[in-house]
A and B are shown apart, each in its own frame.
Chain A
Amino acid sequence: MYVYDQYDQAMVDARVAEFRDQTRRRIEGTLSEDKFRPLRLQNGLYLQLHAYMLRVAVPYGTLSSAQMRVLGDIADKYDRGYGHFTTRQNIQYNWIKLEDAPDILADLAKVEMHAIQTSGNCIRNISSDHYAGATPDEIIDPRPYAELLRQWSSFHPEFLALPRKFKIAVIASETDRAAMRLHDIGIRMVHNDAGEIGCAFYVGGGMGRTPMIAPLLNGFVPLDHLITYAEAALRVYNRYGRRDNKYKARIKILVHELGIDEYRAQVEAEFAHLQTQGIEPPIAELERIKAYFVDPTFETGLSDAIDLSNADFARWVRANTAPHKAPGYAIATISLKPLGKAGIPGDATADQIRTMADLAKAYSFDELRVTHAQNIVLPHVKKADLFALWQGLVAADLATANLDAITDIIACPGLDYCSLANARSIPVAQKISERFAASAKQDAIGELKLKISGCINACGHHHAGHIGILGVDRKGTENYQLLLGGSEGADTSLATIVGPGFSEDGIVDAIEKATNLYLAKREDGERFLDTYRRIGMAPFKETIYG
C-alpha cells in the first residue's frame, strides 16, 4: 500500500488545521454560511436530511487494517455506531456534528486519510478495480497509476473549479469491475503491439441525468505521457465545458456536442503544447510509487483444495470468492447486503468494521478494498484460511453468500438520508431482498445486478443495472421506474425504461414477473442480462404490464 511521504502528510495536516480554524470562525460568527459552505464541502462535509454528513476518501478503494479500524472507531466516537460504504468506494457518516468535524479529520490524518475532494467541482477520489493486484486477469496492478493520478489531482490549482465534478477510474483487466466507461475519464492499462504498457483513454462517460458510455479517446498513451495527456484532456474540458447550465456542465455533454473527433483534435493540440512545458513527473516517481504496491510475500507450494463439507461454508465459497493470481490463494468478498430487512446495503456497524479490519490483519496481509457495489474485499486469503475467515464473518453477521445475486443490491441512501432524493431506495432494496431471500430462488436466477437510485443523480448506478430502479416524485408520492438491460462490465450498456412507474410494492412484483419470464425463457448458461439482450424488451413489457 502507498505510504504518505512528508509532503502528503504535511498537506493533510495543514488542511486539518485550516478547517479547524474555519469551523471555529463559523461557530463564532465571523464566517457566514455562504462563505463557509464551499469550505466545508471541500472537506467532504455536507448538510444532509438529518445532520451533517462526512464523506471520507478511500483512494482507489484500498485500505489497511489500521485505517479500517479507525473508520470503525470514528463511527463509535462521533457518529451513531455505523458507517455507509458508497458506490465511489468511499465511506460516509450520517450523523456528524459540525463541532466534531475537525477532530474527525485529525483522527483520519493520523492514518493517512482525509475527506479532501470528496465534494465540489474538482477531480474526485480516483476509483479502480477492487481486485487490483490480486486477480489473474490483469496485465498489471492499476493502483500505482491511480495513485500517480491522485497525487497529480490533489489540490491541482487549475482543476479545483471545473465546470462540474470529475470522476476518473483506472483498470487493467478485460473484465471491467469499476464501471470504467461510465466515468468522465476511464483509463484501461493496455499492451501495444510492441508489448509495452500504456493507457487507453476513454472520455465522456457518466450516469446521472444524461447517461453516456465513454467513447475511446486514445488507444495507447505511453506511460511517460500519462499525466500530460490527462492534463490536456482536463484543460480542454475546463476551457470549453459549460458553466451556464449545471445540467449540461459534465464533460460528457462537451464531448457529445463537439463530437469525439473534434474533442480529440483539441486534446492532441493541447497535448503537443503541454509536452513543451515539461509537466510530466519523472518516471522515477512512478517507480517510487510502484514500490509500495509490490505483491505481499505469498507462500508457495500451497494446495488449492478447500474442504467444502460444511454446506453453508461451501455456498459462501462458491458465491463470494474469486480466483487469485497466486496458487493456494483466493479473493474473498464480504457482502454488506444482509438478506431482507436485516440490514441496509453498504452499511456496517462500528464493530463490524473493526472485525473486518481484524480479519484482514489475520488473513489478508492487512489489506481491504471497498467495492463500488458497496461490499468489502479481502484480496489475498489463503484457501486454507477461508473456513476460519468465514467463521469470523458468521460471528459478525457478515457471511451473507450472495455476491452478484439479486439480493446483492446497490442502493444509494435515497430519501431516508439524502436531501436531493425523490424517493427512498433502502426500503425497496429490503423488500426485494426479502422476496428473493430463499437461497434456491436466488441460486436459480444466478447473476443479476440490481441497482437502485433515489433520484436522477444515479448514485445507485441504476442505468448500469441488469435491472435498474429509479425513484421519482409523482405529485409528492414516491414512485419507481423500472429499467432493464444495463451493464457496467466490459460489455457496458445503458438500461432502458420499461414503462410507467410503480408503487413501492408494485416495483417488487414487477421484478418478480421479470425474473420469472427470464427463468422461463433462458437458454443454457444465459444470465438475466443475456436473455434480455436476446429476446428484447417487448416480452418483458408484456409480462410486467400485461
Chain B
Amino acid sequence: MKIVTGNDLKTGAVTWWDGAAWSLHVNDAMDVGDHSADIIAREEAARRVVSAYVIDASSDVDGIRPAHIKDRIRALGPTVRLDLSLKPADPAAGTWVI
C-alpha cells in the first residue's frame, strides 16, 4: 500500500494522512493509491502539513508497517526513548522497528 506522511507545520509532529485529516498514529493511515501528489499539494498549500511524502507500507493484523526503518522510527519515536514514543507502555515497541 501507499501511505502519506509529513510533519505538522506548527508543532513539527509526525503525522499520517487518514483520508480526511492528519493523525499522529500510523495505524490510521489510509492507502492513497496513486493520489499522493494531489493530497500532498493540497495539504501543504493549506499549511496543514510540511515536508509530506509518500511511502510504501504493508498492512496485516498488527496494523500498518512502513517499509523502511526510517519511517518505522518516525511512526514510533526514538527507539532509545520509548518513554517519549507513542507506545511508552509497550516494552517490545522498539523491536517493532527492526
Interface residues of A (CB under 8 A from B): 26-27, 29, 33, 47, 49-52, 80, 94-99, 344, 415-417, 419, 421, 424, 426-427, 430, 476-478
A416 to B78: give the CA distance in the assembly, Å.
Answer: 5
In contact, B11 and A49 (Cβ under 8 angstroms): no
A416 to B77: give the CA distance in the assembly, Å.
Answer: 7
Selected from A49, A95, A97, A98, the residue in CB contact (under 8 A) with B70 is A49
Known: A415-B69, A415-B70, A476-B69. A51 touches B80 (CB 8 A): no
Residues of A within 8 A of B78 (CB): 50, 94, 416-417, 426
Selected from A29, A415, A419, the residue in CB contact (under 8 A) with B47 is A29
Least distance between B38 CB and chain A CB atoms (Å): 18
A97 to B9: give the CA distance in the assembly, Å.
Answer: 9
Known: A415-B69, A415-B73, A416-B73. A97 touches B11 (CB 8 A): yes
In contact, A476 and B68 (Cβ under 8 angstroms): yes
B27 within 8 A of A: no
In contact, A430 and B80 (Cβ under 8 angstroms): yes
Least distance between A119 CB and chain B CB atoms (Å): 16
Selected from A51, A99, A344, A427, the residue in CB contact (under 8 A) with B13 is A51
Residues of B within 8 A of A421 (CB): 70
- The digit string for B52-78, where 1 denotes a CB below 8 A from any CB of A, is 000000000000000111100110011
Residues of B within 8 A of A47 (CB): 7, 12, 50-51
Known: A97-B12, A98-B12. A51 touches B7 (CB 8 A): yes
A98 to B67: give the CA distance in the assembly, Å.
Answer: 29
In contact, B9 and A416 (Cβ under 8 angstroms): no
Known: A47-B12, A51-B7; 20 extra A-B contacts, CB below 8 A, are A27-B9, A47-B50, A49-B70, A49-B74, A50-B13, A50-B74, A50-B78, A94-B78, A95-B12, A97-B10, A97-B11, A415-B73, A416-B73, A416-B79, A416-B81, A417-B78, A424-B80, A426-B80, A476-B68, A476-B69
Interface residues of B (CB under 8 A from A): 7, 9-14, 44, 47, 50-51, 67-70, 73-74, 77-81, 84
Least distance between A340 CB and chain B CB atoms (Å): 12
A52 to B14: give the CA distance in the assembly, Å.
Answer: 10
Residue of B nearest to A98 (CB): B10
Least distance between A515 CB and chain B CB atoms (Å): 24
Residues of A within 8 A of B10 (CB): 27, 97-99
In contact, A478 and B69 (Cβ under 8 angstroms): yes
Residues of A within 8 A of B79 (CB): 416, 424, 427
Selected from A50, A80, A94, A99, the residue in CB contact (under 8 A) with B14 is A50
A29 to B47: give the CA distance in the assembly, Å.
Answer: 7
In contact, A49 and B12 (Cβ under 8 angstroms): no
A323 to B8: give the CA distance in the assembly, Å.
Answer: 50
A98 to B47: give the CA distance in the assembly, Å.
Answer: 13
Q: Is the interface of B mostly helix, strand, loop or mixed?
A: loop
Residues of B within 8 A of A430 (CB): 80
Residues of B within 8 A of A27 (CB): 9-10, 47
Residues of A within 8 A of B44 (CB): 33
Residues of A within 8 A of B14 (CB): 49-51
In contact, B74 and A98 (Cβ under 8 angstroms): no
A250 to B77: give the CA distance in the assembly, Å.
Answer: 33
- Chain A CB within 10 A, most for which of B11, B50, B51, B80: B80
Residues of B within 8 A of A416 (CB): 73, 78-81
Known: A33-B50, A426-B80, A478-B69. A51 touches B11 (CB 8 A): yes
**Could you write out 23 A-B pairs with CB less than 8 Å apart?**
A26-B9, A27-B10, A29-B47, A49-B70, A49-B73, A50-B12, A50-B74, A51-B13, A52-B12, A95-B12, A95-B84, A96-B12, A98-B10, A98-B12, A99-B11, A415-B70, A415-B73, A419-B70, A421-B70, A424-B79, A424-B80, A426-B80, A476-B69
Least distance between B13 CB and chain A CB atoms (Å): 6
Least distance between B77 CB and chain A CB atoms (Å): 6
In contact, A50 and B77 (Cβ under 8 angstroms): yes
Residues of A within 8 A of B73 (CB): 49, 415-416, 424
Least distance between B46 CB and chain A CB atoms (Å): 9
A450 to B11: give the CA distance in the assembly, Å.
Answer: 35
A419 to B70: give the CA distance in the assembly, Å.
Answer: 8
Residue of A nearest to B7 (CB): A47
Residue of B nearest to A28 (CB): B47
In contact, B11 and A476 (Cβ under 8 angstroms): no
A427 to B81: give the CA distance in the assembly, Å.
Answer: 10
A514 to B60: give the CA distance in the assembly, Å.
Answer: 43
A477 to B98: give the CA distance in the assembly, Å.
Answer: 8
Least distance between A82 CB and chain B CB atoms (Å): 9
Least distance between B21 CB and chain A CB atoms (Å): 18
The 6 closest A-B pairs by CB, nearest first: A51-B12, A52-B12, A416-B78, A426-B80, A97-B11, A99-B10
A33 to B9: give the CA distance in the assembly, Å.
Answer: 9
A477 to B69: give the CA distance in the assembly, Å.
Answer: 8
Least distance between B47 CB and chain A CB atoms (Å): 6
Residues of B within 8 A of A97 (CB): 10-12
Least distance between B11 CB and chain A CB atoms (Å): 5
Residue of B nearest to A36 (CB): B50
Selected from B51, B67, B84, the residue in CB contact (under 8 A) with A476 is B67
A421 to B79: give the CA distance in the assembly, Å.
Answer: 14
Least distance between B39 CB and chain A CB atoms (Å): 16
A415 to B77: give the CA distance in the assembly, Å.
Answer: 10
Known: A415-B70, A476-B69. A344 touches B80 (CB 8 A): yes
Least distance between B82 CB and chain A CB atoms (Å): 11
Known: A29-B47, A49-B73. A98 touches B11 (CB 8 A): yes
Least distance between A64 CB and chain B CB atoms (Å): 29
Residue of B nearest to A477 (CB): B69
Residues of B within 8 A of A51 (CB): 7, 11-14
Residues of A within 8 A of B67 (CB): 476
Residues of B within 8 A of A52 (CB): 12
